[in-house]
């Protein structure tokens, strides 16, 4: 009969004979674990510190295709962004400010050598050119740009060779008093001289126009573009706007005049346009700031009407024009009302009101490159599309 004792080695499958006892087994496990920990600690302490590489790169020849891919991406990042119409040339990046954004360590292998060499070349080019900021006057004095064709695109002027700024290019008008006259049909015609003339911009546009006329090709008549179809500079565009607005008679627009007028704002508008409604509600603030509003009718639904058909908005605008009180009729239209039928022929002769120019305003909008309402052009050359805040608009127009 056995004693009631705890199971011995036999119970866990280990023979009691020899040196492999339970106690020896435990000691062996402890020794092995201690050796493993010691080895790991020594290995960790002796390992040289290296920067982490976010993406492992397998060794390949120095001119392998991935380097070309990196160079193509670097070209997009290192080359200056295309210059917008009003943006100055971005300053060159300081030499040595190369970052890999964690994609590749530029000093780690042959790939990096090719990549670094490419980037450094681009940076050297930018540093050699130096930061260049072109003023609107400098833009205006650039040499004529050839018209773009499928075979040959215009080449931008090198940033390192800015043209000298002409002296005294702004010429203030001797008088800004309204000019009274009459149209070919006998109606009164009141126009306004431009407040000033940018002589350099004017000469630049004229030289391009004269050069293009010699080609005998049909030209482009649109605000913002040269006759050859190339884009105008900021200074040229503003000069073009100023000179064009001088040809629009007051009697051909619907006017909300400012008591102390500083500038005139010509607005292509549509009473069904939500942003035009918002702008219309801000007219008292514009008038207080010295801004007169001259409305040009631009019924947006006219483009979808048949050639022999008058769209609903165009008809409403015709009724506004032929109303005895144009402002009251326009206010009603912006409140969402349909204006009562009106006939310009029935108006008192003392008003000297020309026939409703709604179709003419609409087609003139194409010349002014109107793509949405409201689109605005000021007598000082400034322009803006859309409306959000009246204070911002006043700041753009007057400052």
Q: Mean pLDDT, the chain, as a whole number?
A: 73
Q: What is residue 31's predicted lDDT score, i.e. its pLDDT?
A: 61
- For 304-330, the pLDDT digits (tens) are 888 888 999 999 999 999 999 999 999
Higher pLDDT, 373 or 91: 373
Q: Which residues contact 51 (CB under 8 A, 6 or more apart)?
A: 105
Q: Is 276 designated active site?
A: yes
- For 156-211, the pLDDT digits (tens) are 333 333 344 454 578 998 888 999 999 888 899 999 999 999 999 999 999 999 99
- Full-model pTM: 0.59
- For 28-59, the pLDDT digits (tens) are 556 656 555 555 555 444 444 444 444 444 44
Judge contact between 320 and 254, C-beta under 8 A: yes
Q: Does residue 124 have a pLDDT over 60?
A: no
Phi, psi for 367 (deg, rounded to 5): -65, -35
- 132-141, 178-187, 359-368 — which is least confidently predicted? 132-141
Judge contact between 192 and 379, C-beta under 8 A: yes
**Kind of pairing, strands 263-269 and 291-297?**
parallel
Measured between alpha carbons, how far is 252 from 53 in angstroms, rounded to an integer? Answer: 70
- Catalytic site residue from 198, 237, 276, 353: 276
Q: Highest mean pLDDT range out of 28-37, 129-138, 223-232?
A: 223-232
- 22-36, 49-63, 229-243, 371-385 — which is least confidently predicted? 49-63
Q: What is residue 105's predicted lDDT score, i.e. its pLDDT?
A: 34
Residues of the chain with pLDDT > 90, as a percent, come to 49
- Catalytic site residue from 237, 264, 300, 353: 300
Q: Does residue 127 have a pLDDT over 90?
A: no
Torsion angle in degrees (nearest 10) through CA of 367, 371, 374, 377: -40
Measured between alpha carbons, how far is 35 from 303 in angstroms, rounded to an integer? Answer: 87
Judge contact between 245 and 379, C-beta under 8 A: yes
Q: What is residue 156's predicted lDDT score, i.e. its pLDDT?
A: 38
The arithmetic mean of pLDDT across residues 329-355, rounded, is 94
Q: What is residue 39's predicted lDDT score, i.e. its pLDDT?
A: 53
Q: Is 273 designated active site?
A: yes
- Catalytic site residue from 273, 322, 353, 382: 273
- Catalytic site residue from 237, 264, 270, 322: 270
- Where would I find the beta strands (DSSP E) of the chain? 170-172, 179-182, 188-191, 196-198, 254-256, 263-269, 291-297, 375-378, 383-385
Q: What is residue 220's predicted lDDT score, i.e. its pLDDT?
A: 86
Q: Does residue 368 have a pLDDT over 80?
A: yes
Measured between alpha carbons, how far is 390 from 278 in angstroms, rounded to an integer? Answer: 9
Q: What is residue 218's predicted lDDT score, i.e. its pLDDT?
A: 85
Q: Is 300 designated active site?
A: yes
Q: Which residues contact 239 (CB under 8 A, 6 or more apart)?
A: 140, 197, 198, 201, 202, 205, 381
Residue 291 sits at the vertex; the CA angle it makes with 299 and 377, to the nearest 5 degrees, is: 45
């Amino acid at each position: 009969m056995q004693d009631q004792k705890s199971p011995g080695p036999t119970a866990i499958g280990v023979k009691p004979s020899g040196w492999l006892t339970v106690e020896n087994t435990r000691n062996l496990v402890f020794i092995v674990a201690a050796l493993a920990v010691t080895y790991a600690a020594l290995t960790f302490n002796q390992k040289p510190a290296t920067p982490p590489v976010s993406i492992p790169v397998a060794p390949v020849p120095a001119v392998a295709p991935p380097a070309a891919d990196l160079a193509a991406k670097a070209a997009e990042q290192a080359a200056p962004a295309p210059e917008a119409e009003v943006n100055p040339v971005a300053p060159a990046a300081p030499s040595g400010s190369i970052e890999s954004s964690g994609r590749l360590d530029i000093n780690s292998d042959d790939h990096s050598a090719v990549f670094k060499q490419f980037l450094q070349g681009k940076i050297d080019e930018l540093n050699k050119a130096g930061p260049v900021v072109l003023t609107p006057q400098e833009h205006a004095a650039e040499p004529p740009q050839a018209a773009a064709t499928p075979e040959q695109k215009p080449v931008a002027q090198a940033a390192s060779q800015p043209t000298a700024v002409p002296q005294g290019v702004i010429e203030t008008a001797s008088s800004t008093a309204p000019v009274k006259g009459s149209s070919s049909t006998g109606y009164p015609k009141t126009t306004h001289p431009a407040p000033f003339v940018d002589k350099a911009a004017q000469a630049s546009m004229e030289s391009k126009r004269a050069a293009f006329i010699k080609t005998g090709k049909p030209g482009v008549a649109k605000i913002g573009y040269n006759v050859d179809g190339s884009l105008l500079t900021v200074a040229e565009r503003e000069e073009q706007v100023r000179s064009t607005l001088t040809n629009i008679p007051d009697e051909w627009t619907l006017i909300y005049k400012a008591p102390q007028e500083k500038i005139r704002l010509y607005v292509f508008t549509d009473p069904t346009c939500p942003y035009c409604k918002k702008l219309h509600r801000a007219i008292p603030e514009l008038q207080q700031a010295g801004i007169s509003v001259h409305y040009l009718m631009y019924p947006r639904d006219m483009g979808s009407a048949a050639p022999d058909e008058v769209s609903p908005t165009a008809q409403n605008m015709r009724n506004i024009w032929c109303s005895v009180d144009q402002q009251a009729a326009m206010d009603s239209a912006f409140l969402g009302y349909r204006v009562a039928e009106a006939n310009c022929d029935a108006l008192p002769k003392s008003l000297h009101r020309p026939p409703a120019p709604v179709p003419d305003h609409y087609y003139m909008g194409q010349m002014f490159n109107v793509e949405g309402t409201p689109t605005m052009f000021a007598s000082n050359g400034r322009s803006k599309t859309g409306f959000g805040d009246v204070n911002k608009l006043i700041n753009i127009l007057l400052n």
